[in-house]
Amino acid sequence: MRMTTRQDLSSTIHETALLGTRRKSFTMPQVEGALGSLLSQLVESDRRAEANEEAKNAEKLLLEVAAVVSLYEACGQMPERISTDLPSVCESDASPVCPPRTSQFFAQMLEGQHADVLPEALRLAAVKGFRIFADLLPALLELGTKHTDLRDAITPVLGERGQWLARQNPAWEWAEAPNTVEESAVEEVWQTASRDKRMTLLRELRRTEPSRSRALLASTWEQEAPEDRSAFLRLFENNLGEADEALLEVALDDRRKEVRRVAFDLLTRLPSSALVRRMKERVRSLVEISSVRMSKRKNPLAATLPAECDRAMQRDGIKPKPPHGIGEKAWWLMQMLGAVPPAVWCEHLKLGAPELLELAKTHKFSDALLGGWAIATTRFRDTGWAEAFWSARTPLPQNQYGVSPSIVEAVLAVLPSSRCEELLISELESNPVALDDSVLTLAFLEQFHHPWSVRLTRIFWNKLRHKFTDKLSLTGAEWVILRAAREAAVFMAPSIGEEVARGWATDERLQDRARQFEQTFSLLSFRHNLQKSFEEES
């Protein structure tokens, strides 16, 4: 009789069990080796059982044999040998790891608690030269993979270990140190690497050698996919200079709209560019101050709408089709004004920004004029015009069609944060109803994404407490303030968080109100403890 091997027996058992003994019968084969002698013991005891008239059916036999084989295999197993290369070993880290309490806070934020404090915590860690402890690195890298806006804040705190870990997972490629490209390999990486790697390379070159980055992109410009062309060109924002104009002019003729848009955006940031010059030529004659005063009531500011949007204008980035709610000619004028430095008008019309804004407010084309100048103020970073906009409080057409920035957006984009804070403080101090009906102040507070000074924080909360003292129920507008305060809590000065929270305890009604601010206080105290923890010993 032929001997069966263990493997054969094992597969016979499994086949039979899978199909069922109803369909496939099972008989005990002769098995070789030690397993065979084990199984023969089993058969022997069965025979004895049969002698005792205990019938043994095929199912029981199969289960018994299966148990023996299964255990025989389990007991005989050995760990597998692996022949692939070991992972590389990480260099040891020179930079210190965050203090233990800070690590705890990071763990908490990475689990989603007070997650909106992460950008601040990452920045603080980077400033102090700390790295994040190894156990949190995967969560941190996952976070950066999902939230691209946090990547620049994450990379400095990864340390050697984090860089090393990022190299082990293709999804974390973005976190690898950018200067890993050797000087001699630049061309090759640019020609052959993945899109993320090429982006990193180009971004880095843009920082250190703008001309080199330009030459590199120009060398492959024609072959790039359209979405890559616009993404790569977008990087030219950094260190943008007159030397970039030639390539941008080429891009202005691109087949793809997105690429043309990026080129237009960048060219209009170069006040000396041919595009801005052409635009000036077009628009100069359209806005004038009439020298003869016809009547006192007549606005001396004379604006003419362009008659058409020709090919040349379209090439220079003027979109012919207006968004809903604005006439097409007014739309063309607004865009043209937006592409010319606003200072041009002060020179051309011999009037200051405040006067021009005052005249434009009541003009029949006020939307086009104010909208265009707001775009230009933001684009050319004109501080004089930004201040003038803030003082004039001109309602901008932004609410209707979202095509030009709001005053707050313009002010925040142009003025330094210290100046913005001064404006906010004086607004809160001098305007008794600053939080009552001024949507503007609230919008400013909400969009002011810079650390608040202790002074601003204190003034804000005093104002708020004052406001809520006599109120029993909250109006809709006040709920908006509550939400704004909660969102601004990541920027407030946390050192006076306890003071701010305690200030409510004097009055019973206030205590009740203070509950509404619970989350805000909790965030402030979290940030305070976080900041303190950085001072502790590692």
Partner 1 sequence: MNRTPEQILALAPDAASAKSGRDLAAERKWVTLNREESRDENSELIWGECQGSGKTPYRTQVDTGDLAFKCTCPSRKFPCKHALGLFLLRASQPAAFTIGEPPAWVKEWQDARNTRAQKQAEKATKVNPEENAGVDPAVSVVGAAKRLAARERKVTAGLAELELWLCDIVRQGLASLQGKSADFWETAAARLVDAQAPGAARLVRLMGRQPTSGDGWERRLLHGISLLHLLVEAYKRQAELSLEQATDVRTLVGWTIDQAEVKKHAGVSDHWLVVGRVTEDEDRMQVERIWLWGAGCDRAALVLNFTPAGQSHAAQTSQSLFVPGDCFKGEVVFFHGAHPLRALVKERVEPDAAEIERLENAFLTEAGFAELTTAVAAYTAALARNPWIERFPMLLRGVVPQHCGDDCWVVRDAANHCLPLAKRFDGAWRLLAESGGRPIRLFGEWDGSTLLPLSIWSESRLHFLN
Long-range contacts, 495-502 (Cβ 8 Å, 24+): 495/454, 495/528, 495/531, 496/454, 496/457, 496/458, 497/521, 497/524, 497/525, 497/527, 497/528, 498/525, 498/528, 499/458, 500/457, 500/458, 500/461, 500/524, 501/525
For 268, list phi and psi in degrees, rounded to 5: -75, -5
Nearer residue to partner 1 within complex by CB, 176 or 427: 176
User: Which residues have a Cβ under 8 Å from the Cβ of 257 and sit 6 or more positions away?
Assistant: none
First-residue to last-residue Cα distance in the chain: 75
Q: Does 101 bind partner 1 (CB under 8 A)?
A: yes
Among 57, 272, 291, 362, indicate the residue that binds partner 1 (CB under 8 A).
Answer: 57
* Identity of the residue numbered 335: Q
Nearer to partner 1, 158 or 266 (CB): 158
What is the CA angle 58-62-63, rounded to 5? 120
Residue of the chain from 33, 76, 226, 241 that contacts partner 1 (CB under 8 A): 76
Compute the distance between CA of residue 155 and CA of residue 200 in angstroms, rounded to an integer: 12
Q: Which of these, 371, 458, 435, 359, lies nearest to 407 by C-alpha position?
A: 371
Per CB under 8 A, the list member of 29, 119, 138, 384 interacting with partner 1 is 138
- Got the DSSP string for 359-421? HHHTSTTHHHHHHHHHHHHHHTT-HHHHHHHHHHTPPPTHHHH--S--HHHHHHHHS-HHHHH
Question: Using CA atoms, how far apart are residues 130 and 457, in angstroms rounded to an integer?
Answer: 28
Stretch that binds partner 1, among 343-351, 356-364, 401-409, 517-525 (CB under 8 A): 517-525
Q: Taking CB under 8 A as the rule, which mask of x and - marks residues 301-320 in contact with partner 1? A: --------------------
49 vs 215, which CB is nearer to partner 1? 49
- The stretch among 122-130, 161-169, 263-271, 340-348 that binds partner 1 (CB under 8 A) is 161-169
Compute how many residues bind partner 1; rule: CB under 8 A.
58
133: left (phi over 0), alpha (psi -120 to 50) or beta: beta
- Among 9, 98, 137, 388, interactor with partner 1 by CB under 8 A: 137
Q: Shortest approach of partner 1 to residue 63 CB, angstroms?
A: 4
Nearer to partner 1, 222 or 535 (CB): 535
* Maximal C-alpha separation, the chain: 131
Decide: helix, strand or coil at residue 302.
strand
Separation of alpha carbons 269 and 247, rounded Å: 15
Question: Rounded to 5 degrees, what are φ and ψ at 103?
Answer: -60, -40
Q: Is the CB of 66 or the CB of 326 nearer to partner 1?
A: 66
For residues 138 and 322, which CB has a smaller minimum distance to partner 1 in the complex?
A: 138
Among 84, 184, 285, 399, binds partner 1 (CB under 8 A): 84
Binding piece for partner 1, criterion CB under 8 A, among 101-109, 195-203, 252-260, 431-439: 101-109
Among 438, 453, 495, 522, binds partner 1 (CB under 8 A): 522
CA dist 53 → 47, 49, 65, 366 (Å):
10, 7, 21, 108
The helix/strand/coil state of 104 is helix
Binding string, residues 6-35; x marks residues near partner 1 by CB under 8 A: -------xx--xxxxxxx------------
Does position 89 bind partner 1 by CB under 8 A?
Answer: yes
Tokens of 336: 């043209």
Shortest spacing between CB 502 and partner 1, in angstroms = 7
Q: Which of residues 453-512 bind partner 1 (CB under 8 A)?
A: 498, 501-502
Q: How far is the CB of 458 from partner 1 (least distance, A)?
A: 17
Q: Identify which range of 55-63, 180-188, 314-322, 480-488 contacts partner 1 by CB under 8 A.
A: 55-63
Tell which one of 33, 40, 47, 71 touches partner 1 (CB under 8 A).
Answer: 71
Q: Which two tokens mark 431?
A: 């305007």
> By the criterion CB under 8 A, which residues form the site for partner 1?
13-14, 17-23, 57, 59-60, 62-64, 66-67, 70-71, 74-84, 86-90, 100-101, 104, 108, 113, 134-135, 137-138, 161-162, 164-165, 168-169, 498, 501-502, 521-522, 525-526, 529
